[in-house]
Structure formats: structure tokens, C-alpha cells
Structure 1
Amino acid sequence: MPQPSSRPALPLALGLPIAVATGLVIPLQGRINGALAGRLNDGIAAAVVSFTTGLIVIAAVSLATSKGRSGLQRIIPAVRNRSFPRFYVTAGAIGALFVCAQSFTIALLGVALFTVAAVTGQTLSGLLVDRMGIGPGGKRPITGIRVLGSILTVAAVAWAVSPRFGGGADIASLVLPVLLPLVAGFLMSFQQAMNGTATVHYGTPLAATLVNFLAGSAILWVAWVIKLAVASPGNPLPTEWWYYLGGPMGCLFIGLAALLVRSLGVLITGLGMIAGQLVGSLVLDVVIPSPGTVVALPTVLGTVLTLAAIIVATLPWPRGAFARKPAPKGR
């Protein structure tokens, strides 16, 4: 039976900035995958390309490094000996669901509403997953400060993306479509916890990331073949190299998330990445704006409030710091 890795946990002062920096990659990956979907005129095909290129990259890195090869040798024994629940190897299906949610609902909901729904789901499940102790960091209590930080994060994200909301949408018609990104975001915390637990037993996030991309790629290829049976294929693959960077960026995101949840817990890892995602989106909108992009004051202030919410949720507040102090007795 493979022994869990004894790697020491990262301190919060180091792990949280890494989580924020990892989140910076997500908007760029989304921009690339969105451009690829438009070029191919097929959202599922773009997801297939992204996952498949990511799978090729992480497989090459795993085979080329001693740590990666060691992790590969641990996968089958860990699954066979039930070192963790076997369904954890299907964590990549959650990533595939998230990509499909982007493909099917962003055109209807818009990026703003999609982001709020996904972040809300991920923040709520981060609290739940930590409380259940599914991740490698064990159980973490639901404290008032963690709840407050989560609420502030969702509010800050909604404020930051509020300039992108359209005014003519029929709210009733959006209720059902918004459930898909809400559920996909809710499951993201479980994916991070499952990958984090697998990483402990594989000894490296490389192996967990490889298994993640294997499962996600298999599901997306099946979905694309089914689509071909009822619809014509999209446009041919582009020749520009940058269209294929989304998959490698996903490797970085999934691998670091699997590593960080052991030290930070699922909630704080997720909140840090959400903060990085907003900062990255803001930088992209300023440096490489997409057509119709306007950087408004709420976007900047909402991003700053998100960073403040992370501080609220992560600072080591002393017990009873916010308890009401009894009035001093008169002499």
C-alpha cells in the first residue's frame, strides 16, 4: 500500500499568494478557450482540444521527471488498495462539466451572471467541504469569520461584474440556465478536495492532474462524438499556436489547487483563486480589452473588496475577538 506523502504543509503567508497568483491564469485561459470556441464554431470541440492538449502536456511532464514517474507508479496501487474512495479518480468530470457550462450558458447568461453563479456555488461548497473534512487538510470548522469572508467575497464579485449586467433580460427565463454554472461551481470545491487527497497518496500533484485530465478528456470526447451524430462538425483547427495554451494553463491551475488545499483548506484556496481571477480579469480588460469592454469604478472597487474579504477570512483572529465586551462596573 503506498504511503501518503510526508511533504510539510505550506504556511498561509506563502500558500495564499500562490493561490491568488494561480487564479490570475483563469481569465486568460477563459479568453483563449472562448476565442477557440468562436474560431471552431463549436464549444464542445474547443473543450476537447483544451483538455486533450492539457493531457498531452501533463503526460509528457510526468514521464520526463523522476517525481512524475514515481507518482505514476503509485496511481494503480493507491486505487486498488482503496487508499481513498475510488470515485475520486473521476474528479476530472467536474472540470468537464464546468467547461460545458461555460459553452452552453455564457452566451445566454453573459459572463457577469455566469461568474456570480459559479463563485457563489464554489464559495458555499468550500465551507461545506472543509466542514466535512473531505480534503487532505481534515475538518475545518464553519466559524462566523469564515462565513463573513465568504459572504463578502460573493458580494464583492457581484459588485465587480455589475457593469457587465444587461438591463433587458427576462429574469424568469434565466432561472433554469443559471442552475448549471451554480452546480458546476458548487462541485469545483469537491474536485479540489478530491484531487488534493489523491495528491497526498500519489506523492505529487502531477499524477493527480494527469488522472484529472484523463477523466475529463474521456467524457468530453464522448460528448463530442455524440454531438457529431446529430450535428455537423465545426470549422477546422486553427494554425496559430496560442489557441492551444488553454490546456497547459489548466494543468497549472489544477495541479497547484491540488497542492494548496492540503495546507490552506478548500475554502481559502478557492477564495484566493477567486481574488486572483478578478485581478487577472481587470488586468486583461485594461491591457488587452475585448470588444465593448469598459473598466468601470465598481469593477476596481469590487476587486479590492474581494481582496479584503480574503483577509477577513484568513487572518488568525483571536477567539472572542468580536464578542461583545461587558460594560465596566462602576466603582
Structure 2
Amino acid sequence: MSVQSRINGELGRRLDDGFTAAAISFGTGLVLLAVALAISPRGRAGFGGVGRALRERTLSWWMLLGGLAGAFLVLSQGLTAALLGVALFTVAIVAGQTVSGLVIDLIGLGPGGRHPITGPRVVGASLALAAVTIAVSAQLTAGVEIWWVLMPLIAGLGTGWQQAVNGRVRVAASSALTSTFLNFVSGTVVLVIAAVVHVAVAGPPEAFPAEPWLYVGGALGCVFIAGTAVIVRRTGVLLLSLATIAGQLASALALDLLLPVPGRHVDAATTVGTLLAFIAVVVASGRPSFLRLGFRRGS
């Protein structure tokens, strides 16, 4: 997800048009998924399962619109990732994921049903939010507009909802390919419309860059959406969100250190916030015995 943020952010910067960059990302992903469906009988059969679930009302029609949240996430990548730096962008996403994960697990929207709010989960979520506060405060003093931080924060809130409903669709279809395709259909439609309107108002984007790697963001999104649709049933939304944080933040910091954005640098606040968010994953899992008030024999 961090690599996707860097790619989509750079494409948006090169085109000087984050809307077109987002539409390209989702559109290329949709094409790849359509090809996969053409050679996958199980994936095509999944549509029948979704249809039955809709008729039996075990699946609501609005659960097919998870791609709208994904579209907003990719749009925020194209508009803000290059400005904020991948590390700060990812930390803001984490804050939204954490809050939505707690709420969605509590109401039982995900395919795994309700997950109670326990001490470790609350502490882990609080640590993640504290990590965001630390990291964002330093960057805001460097002249970053609050809007650019709020956009990925809201996108993170939507990501939790997206993971829950995509997981529900995946269960109904018995195919991650089917649920991922439906996710990309709704997202692509919205982003193409937004890109067309933006071009009509602001004019066409800059010349399309020739580097092939700038167009693989959609493929990375396919892998991420399919993976989360499978895993969320077992983990719940909160633990899934926090478990992905470790990989996201580690790779985000590596990208900002090894391939820095001109004019941006990784400061101490961002580093400390990232480490604290990593600790939040461990705490929320409830695994480490030293975090408990007592010890069970054999633990």
C-alpha cells in the first residue's frame, strides 16, 4: 500500500492531475481483473452467489459499493501523497483505519461478526492515534495545510468500511476475485466521471510519462483488496487494519529515506510516531504476556 501511494502520488504530480492519476490506477486494475475473470470459472461463478445473497437479503446492495471508499483513497494518494511524504500520508491513513476498525467491529458489520472492545484493543487503538498526533504535529509546523492531512485521514475511515463490506461480498461469492472485481467496478466508474469533470473544468493533464512503473498502482491495489477481503473474516476489521500498519509504515519510512521526495525529509516526530504505531499493533493483538496484569501458567 505504501508503494502504491508513492506511485500514484508521483503519477499525479507528473500529470499535474490527481483525478486522472486515480482513474488510471483503478482503470488498469479493473482491466487486469477482467482478464483474470475471463480465465477463472470460479470467479465468474461468484456472481451467482452474490445474486443469491442479494435476493435472500443476506447481502445489501450498498455492500457492493466498497470501491467508492477505495476510489477516495486512491484519489487522496494522487492529490496528497507527494506533498505529505509517504510516511505522514500512511500515518494519517492509519488513524482513520483505527477508528473505523473499532466502530465496525463493535457493530459487527464485517463478515466475522462482532468483536468486543477489550483492553488491549482500546490501548492499541489509542497508541495508534497518539502516534498520528505526534507525527502530524511536526509536519503541520513545516507548512503543510491541515486539509492535506485530513483527506487521507478520511480515506482511512473509509478503508475500514471497505474492508468490512468487501469481506461480506467475498463470503457471498466464495471468491476474492469476484469481490475485488466488483470493488474496482464501482470505484472506476466514480473516478472516471470525476476525471472527466476535472478535465472539462481545469483542462487536460500534462503529457503522460513514459516510465512503465508509474502505471502499476492498480495491480498493487488488486493484491491488497483481494488479500484483505479474505483475511478480514478471521481477524476483524481493527486487527486487520493494525496488522497491515507494520508493513505499511516500515516500507513508507524506507521509501522516504531511500527515495525522498524533493523538499521533504523524515524528521524525528515522524519516526517516533511510526515506531509508536508499530507498538500499537503488538498491544492490540493482546499477545504479549508482559502487557497483562497477571501471568497464566505456561504462557
Measured in 1, the distance between the counterparts of 2:261 and 2:179 equals 34
Q: Could you tell me which runs of 5 or more consecutive residues in structure 1 were left unpaired when the two chains were aligned.
A: 1-25, 324-331
Q: 1:309-329: CA deviations, max 9, x gaps?
A: 2111113479x9438xxxxxx
Measured in 1, the distance between the counterparts of 2:80 and 2:135 equals 20
Tell me the equivalent position of 1:206.
177
Q: Point out the more displaced range, 292-301 or 61-70.
A: 292-301
Q: What letter matches 2:215 in structure 1?
A: Y
Measured in 2, the distance between the counterparts of 1:254 and 1:119 equals 16
Deviation at 1:87, TM superposition (A): 0.5
Deviation at 1:305, TM superposition (A): 3.0
TM-score normalised according to structure 1 size: 0.79
Q: Quickly say closer, same or farther: Cα 1:292–1:180, change in 2 above 3 A.
A: closer
- The structure 2 residue matched to 1:306, chosen from 269, 277, 286, is 277
Measured in 2, the distance between the counterparts of 1:316 and 1:72 equals 38
Q: Quickly say closer, same or farther: Cα 1:102–1:245, change in 2 above 3 A.
A: closer
Q: What letter matches 1:147 in structure 2?
A: V
The number of residue pairs the alignment matches comes to 293
Q: Point out the more displaced range, 150-159 or 275-284.
A: 150-159
Structure 2 residue 205 is the aligned partner of structure 1 residue 234: yes
Q: What letter matches 2:196 in structure 1?
A: V
- The structure 1 residue matched to 2:190, chosen from 211, 216, 219, is 219
Measured in 2, the distance between the counterparts of 1:113 and 1:249 equals 20
Measured in 2, the distance between the counterparts of 1:43 and 1:79 equals 35
Q: 1:2-27: CA deviations, max 9, x gaps?
A: xxxxxxxxxxxxxxxxxxxxxxxx11
Q: Point out the more displaced range, 249-258 or 32-41.
A: 32-41
Measured in 1, the distance between the counterparts of 2:12 and 2:161 equals 27
Measured in 2, the distance between the counterparts of 1:112 and 1:280 equals 8
Measured in 2, the distance between the counterparts of 1:180 and 1:246 equals 19
Helix, strand or coil at the partner of 1:141: coil
Measured in 1, the distance between the counterparts of 2:150 and 2:249 equals 22
Q: 1:216-250: CA deviations, max 9, x gaps?
A: 00001111122232221112333322111100000
Q: What letter matches 1:90 in structure 2?
A: L
Tell me the equivalent position of 1:243.
214
Deviation at 1:296, TM superposition (A): 4.7
Q: Quickly say closer, same or farther: Cα 1:311–1:190, change in 2 above 3 A.
A: same
Tell me the equivalent position of 2:128.
153
Instruction: Give me the CA root mean square deviation.
Output: 2.7
Tell me the equivalent position of 2:27.
52
Q: Quickly say closer, same or farther: Cα 1:235–1:131, change in 2 above 3 A.
A: same
Q: Point out the more displaced range, 108-117 or 76-85.
A: 108-117
Measured in 2, the distance between the counterparts of 1:244 and 1:110 equals 19
- The structure 2 residue matched to 1:184, chosen from 147, 155, 160, is 155
Deviation at 1:78, TM superposition (A): 3.1
Helix, strand or coil at the partner of 1:136: coil
Measured in 1, the distance between the counterparts of 2:10 and 2:280 equals 32
Measured in 1, the distance between the counterparts of 2:63 and 2:91 equals 27
Greater gyration radius: 1
Query: Contact 2:135/2:269 (CA < 8 Å) preserved in 1?
Result: yes
Measured in 2, the distance between the counterparts of 1:322 and 1:290 equals 44
Query: Contact 1:39/1:238 (CA < 8 Å) preserved in 2?
Result: yes
Structure 2 residue 8 is the aligned partner of structure 1 residue 33: yes
Q: Point out the more displaced range, 90-99 or 190-199.
A: 90-99
- The structure 2 residue matched to 1:99, chosen from 56, 59, 74, is 74
Deviation at 1:151, TM superposition (A): 1.1
TM-score normalised according to structure 2 size: 0.87
